[in-house]
Amino acid sequence: MDELSQHLLNAIILGGTYALLGIGLTLIFGIMRVVNFTHGELYAFGAYCMYALIMLLHVNFFLALVLAVALGMLLGAAIEMLLLNRLRGADIDTTMLVMIGAWIVMQNTEQYVWSGVALSINSPFPNDPLVLGPLSVSWNRVYVFVVATALIGATYYLVNRTRLGKAMRATFQDRDTAALMGIRIDRIHTATFALGSGLAAAAGALLGPVFVVAPTMGDLAASKAFAIVILGGLGNITGATLGGFILAFVEEIGAGYISSGYRDAMGFLLIILILLMRPTGLFAQRERIG
């Protein structure tokens, strides 16, 4: 019983960060339809920003998070304006190849600048965990969960309840009509990509101090993010959030009671099963293409 409760607690905490990774990518991949291979590198970028700000420049831990997210958004905006802007209207394969190139360049730049040695970031949280009877969880992870939940809520509000959100949804539903209605679609593209990138950087910045920071850290994060987005249904923020929690739950219980060796495969097995039954993902509405 204690073991099961610990697994469930772990799943909820882990699910928060998976959901955060998922909603960032669902904006870009699901709504913008850009197969964004740089998502994992923005995650790593957020973590390296935290390292540079906290360990080298001695910036306050919480302020560093805000700065890391802002830098992530700037980098996202730069990628959109330098690379994607020119590819608007290009087919999905061309864009995908460019993004794969950007991913390789970014990962190798990280290694060139920081070397392959993993780095760790000090956090102001106590080393001793929060103990709840037989269960325990580190304070840092509780903090990550709380911030991730808040960011997910804020993104949901932004996309579904604000004018900017409405413009985003309109642009990606029908670009020409949106442009005719006076929406500046170039800006919307940049803003959406920057927002999604900022969320990836936020996830990296939150998890950097929990794990270690290394140039390849983005690879697994990116493959999980894609899994979550597909699981939840493309472009659906609620779906991506629930997808994140479902993936964490399946991984924890799968690793705990079936086989830990297949922990990272569990999520993908689940996706295959779900796509067999519901090809649009769990929560997506029926799609209209074209």
Closer of 25 and 144 to another protein (Cβ): 144
Shortest Å distance, C-beta 138 to another protein: 4
Shortest Å distance, C-beta 13 to another protein: 8
Shortest Å distance, C-beta 221 to another protein: 9
Closer of 223 and 238 to another protein (Cβ): 223
CB 208 within 8 A of CB 221: no
Closer of 125 and 156 to another protein (Cβ): 125
User: Which stretches of the chain bind another protein, using CB under 8 A?
Assistant: 2-3, 6-7, 10, 13-14, 108, 111, 115-120, 127, 129, 131, 136-138, 141, 211-212, 214-217, 219-220, 251-256, 259-261, 263-264
Shortest Å distance, C-beta 8 to another protein: 10
Cβ neighbours for 259, distance < 8 A, ≥ 6 positions apart: none
Shortest Å distance, C-beta 7 to another protein: 5
Closer of 51 and 172 to another protein (Cβ): 51
DSSP 61: H
**In this structure, what token pair is assigned to residue 176?**
């020409």
Give me the amino acid identity at 237.
I
Closer of 57 and 220 to another protein (Cβ): 220
DSSP for 11-50, please give it.
HHHHHHHHHHHHHHHIIIIIIS----TTHHHHHHHHHHHH
